[in-house]
Amino acid sequence: MLRKLTGLKLHWQILIAILLAAVAGQLAGTSATLGPVTFYSVFDFLGTIFINALKMLIVPLISSSIVVGVAGIGASGNLGRLGGKTLLFYAMTTLFAILLGLLLVNVVRPGILDGQPVGELLALHADTGALLEKVGDKGVGDVVQIFLRMVPTNIVRAASEGSMLGIIFFCLLFGFFMTRLEESLADPLFRFCSGVFQVMMHMTE
């Protein structure tokens, strides 16, 4: 049985795991015990370790994949054309996500029950007026801040803080300028980043 399961595609394994976890959580609840400890505390402990492990992999996985991808594309001379297509794709998907979100908010109306906000039921006690004022103040200055965050003053600090925008920008530049080096210098860097990426993929799997 285990051999059959491990032969499944990864997305099917994930789906089966989610369904089994939902059943286990429903049966165990928060009070079922295993000796002196509850199943809930065991699930919480294992889940925290799993999430921490995923977070541990994010920076090296994304960094190495971007550097390798950009360096490979830049070496073929198609970086500019692909960059334009990527920006167009990003703009179209962002627009679609916004429109879909507006549609669902107006149709489903999340957070409203019988015409009344359910903030109290969800223990949301934030001042609605202050929150709306904070959201409504967004303007050109906030767009400028995005560009400022995109260029970190310290890439090591950006990595430790999980500032993905700065990390992505740095790795794009790093991969691009790798292609401008002579082969004797660029090749060891490319092989190193490729090796890091393969290691990260195996760890992720």
Question: What would the 3-class secondary structure string for the chain be?
Answer: CHHHHHCCCHHHHHHHHHHHHHHHHHHHCCCCEECCEEHHHHHHHHHHHHHHHHHHHHHHHHHHHHHHHHHHHHHHCCHHHHHHHHHHHHHHHHHHHHHHHHHHHHHHCCCEECCEECCCCCCCCCCHHHHHHHHHCCCHHHHHHHHHHHCCCCHHHHHHHCCHHHHHHHHHHHHHHHCCCCHHHHHHHHHHHHHHHHHHHHHHC
Number of domains in the chain: 1
- pLDDT band of 83, cuts 50, 70, 90: low
CA–CA dist 58, 129 (Å, integer): 36
Q: Is 144 domain-assigned?
A: yes
**Higher-confidence position of 173 and 105:** 173
- pLDDT band of 75, cuts 50, 70, 90: low
Q: Is 33 domain-assigned?
A: no
> For the residues 75-103, what does the mean pLDDT come to?
71
**pLDDT tens per residue, range 29-70:** 888 887 888 888 888 899 999 999 999 999 999 999 989 888
- Percent of the chain with pLDDT strictly greater than 70: 71
Q: Report pLDDT for 205.
A: 82
Check whether 8 has a pLDDT greater than 90. Answer: no
Tokens of 201: 């993929």
Check whether 2 has a pLDDT greater than 60. Answer: no
Mean pLDDT of the chain: 79
Q: Is 20 domain-assigned?
A: no
CA–CA dist 179, 130 (Å, integer): 50
Q: Is 149 domain-assigned?
A: yes
Q: Report pLDDT for 102.
A: 80
- pLDDT band of 113, cuts 50, 70, 90: low
> For the residues 139-162, what does the mean pLDDT come to?
79
- Domain containing 146 equals 58-204
